[in-house]
């Protein structure tokens, strides 16, 4: 449950290493749960487009995607940027530059308007 508390919040800051760690862990968990939902639905019906497969998998994809967005918002806070900066990810090619910026740029040293430096605690 501690992992969910860390993923589903937007307050505070997230340094590069924790961001990468949480993103990888969350991607693995999301893939496993998606696979289990898809497999369980496949056992219940032979139609891969059945609502027993599509609805639970779609809901889980939405929930998992929101978690990834919230992690990125906290990472942007560490870079002293608003979460709205993430809307640039909707623009083709700019999204690649934004991803590199989020992954590679060091966070603000010391306090910024989003809180204390995550490397100090």
The string of pLDDT tens digits covering residues 72-81 is 999 999 999 9
Q: What is the pLDDT of residue 121?
A: 65
Is the model more confident about 1 or about 35?
Answer: 35
Q: Please answer whether residues 25 and 3 qualify as being in contact, where contact means their C-beta atoms are separated by less than 8 angstroms.
A: yes
Helix (H) or strand (E) holding 52: helix 51-78
pLDDT digits (tens, 9 = 90+) for 21-72: 999 999 999 999 999 988 888 888 877 778 888 898 999 999 999 999 999 9
DSSP label at residue 12: S
pLDDT-based confidence at 20, cuts 50/70/90?
Answer: very high
- Residue 84: Cβ within 10 Å count: 9
User: In the chain, what are the domain boundaries?
Assistant: 2-107
pLDDT digits (tens, 9 = 90+) for 93-102: 999 999 999 9
Q: Which two tokens stand for residue 120?
A: 């100090």
Q: What is the pLDDT of residue 70?
A: 96
Q: Please answer whether residues 83 and 76 qualify as being in contact, where contact means their C-beta atoms are separated by less than 8 angstroms.
A: yes
The model carries a pTM of 0.87
């Amino acid at each position: 449950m501690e992992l969910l508390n860390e993923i589903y919040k937007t307050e505070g800051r997230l340094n590069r290493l924790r961001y990468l760690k949480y993103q990888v862990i969350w991607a693995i968990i999301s893939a496993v749960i998606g696979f289990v939902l898809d497999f369980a639905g496949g056992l219940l019906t032979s139609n891969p487009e059945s609502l027993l497969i599509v609805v639970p998998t779609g809901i889980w994809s939405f929930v998992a995607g929101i978690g990834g967005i919230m992690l990125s918002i906290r990472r942007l806070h560490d870079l002293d940027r608003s979460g709205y900066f993430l809307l640039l990810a909707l623009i083709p090619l700019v999204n690649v530059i934004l991803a590199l910026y989020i992954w590679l740029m060091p966070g603000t040293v010391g306090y910024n308007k989003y809180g204390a430096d995550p490397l100090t605690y």
